[in-house]
Structure 1
């Protein structure tokens, strides 16, 4: 089963300094039929003006991944971490029993990043932070495995049976991805245009996939993020 999520019909907000597309219910956007997809609770596609950002605020019992598309993002938290990442790089935080953090765009250009929240396998994990500066070329015409569960082999590990991949597929190139029995996936067409099992996706569109293998053909250079996970009961 595949279901396209047209970005034109997603939730959205505009606070001037922050402009967002919400793949799932979040903040002022609430749709009882669109709360989550399996253990995937939030994907926010955020644009943040230079020298602005999210001040210090709390999180608890959530696995939070930030993937930068353009510009840069600076994280700070009450565990003493402060780091800046840029295009194609990832920050990860397990909020666990509770953490305070901030996210700012301290650069000169607008920052675009995907904020991803995944429900943990249980409550009460010890809070943790990490970041990883992936080589951009490692995702060219190739699935770059960035995040996995604790038993997986990705460099970033989270407290859930879920995997996150990124891809930059050149025009005319084709690649497949298996979504086997008992699994599901959510795909974000970050940039470009592609055709996936006959469905055309453009910038910022989403795609729900349940137990169906995908074949992706890039029409324009396609920057894609894929979250694969166990199927919801």
Structure 2
């Protein structure tokens, strides 16, 4: 089963320096029927104007992944980490017992666009951790790149949860397939372009909830950039941690 979430029904927050498209309840947007999808708690598509960003703030008990779509993301945190990431780079933070950090677009001319993804951890009060990996465009071109996996998985970036993140850049006309194991579900976000998934067509900013499928067949109807989170099909309850 594929359920399309049209971009036009998503909540968009505009704060001048920041425009955010919220896939789930977040900040000033609250919908009790749209809190999370399995262990996926947040997916925000953020555009940050030059010389602006998120000042230092705290997090706890959350696995946080940032995927840079365009521009530069500069990170600093209370563990002493500081770096700038660019297009297709992936940043990971396990907030665990508590961490503070800031995320800025220090470029004076170009906007920053990145996907901010929060995933519930598999336990509370983990030791905070930070990491990143600098993928290149070629890593994603006409393939499905595994960019985030569980701790025992094979991706370069690892999180404390049974969830995987994949991304792809498909040239127009390119087709690929992805097999799904039983009792797994997927949340897909179209970053740019137009895509056919099985018999459903989606475009930039649309998303798809996917349940009870054995395979996903992708065809790029134009040059297309997309990302999806694959996870266990469970009725996840945060308080069960």
Structures share fold, TM-score greater than 0.5: yes
Aligned-partner Cα distance in 2 for 1:211–1:89:
31
Aligned-partner Cα distance in 2 for 1:91–1:216:
26
Q: Is the 8 A contact 1:190 1:222 kept in 2?
A: yes
Aligned CA-pair RMSD: 0.7
* Map of 1:14 onto structure 2: 14
* Map of 2:220 onto structure 1: 218
Aligned-partner Cα distance in 2 for 1:8–1:209:
19
Listed one character per residue, the Cα deviations across residues 158-200 of structure 1 (whole Å, up to 9, x for unaligned) are 0000001110011111111122211001111100001111211
Listed one character per residue, the Cα deviations across residues 147-166 of structure 1 (whole Å, up to 9, x for unaligned) are 00011010111000000111
Aligned-partner Cα distance in 1 for 2:6–2:180:
21
Listed one character per residue, the Cα deviations across residues 56-103 of structure 1 (whole Å, up to 9, x for unaligned) are 000000000000101010010010000110111111000000000000
Deviates more, 1:34-43 or 1:1-10: 1-10
TM-score, reference length from structure 2: 0.95
Aligned-partner Cα distance in 1 for 2:180–2:20:
29
Gaps of 5+ in 1: none
List, as ranges, runs of 4+ consecutive aligned residues in structure 1 with deviation greater than 2 Å. Answer: none
* Map of 2:139 onto structure 1: 138
How far has the Cα of 1:15 moved from its partner?
0.3
Structural mapping, 1:202-217, within 5 Å:
202-212=203-213, 213-217=215-219
* Map of 1:147 onto structure 2: 148
Aligned-partner Cα distance in 1 for 2:199–2:183:
23
Q: Secondary structure at the match of 2:139?
A: helix
Q: Is the 8 A contact 1:77 1:101 kept in 2?
A: yes
Aligned pair count reads 233
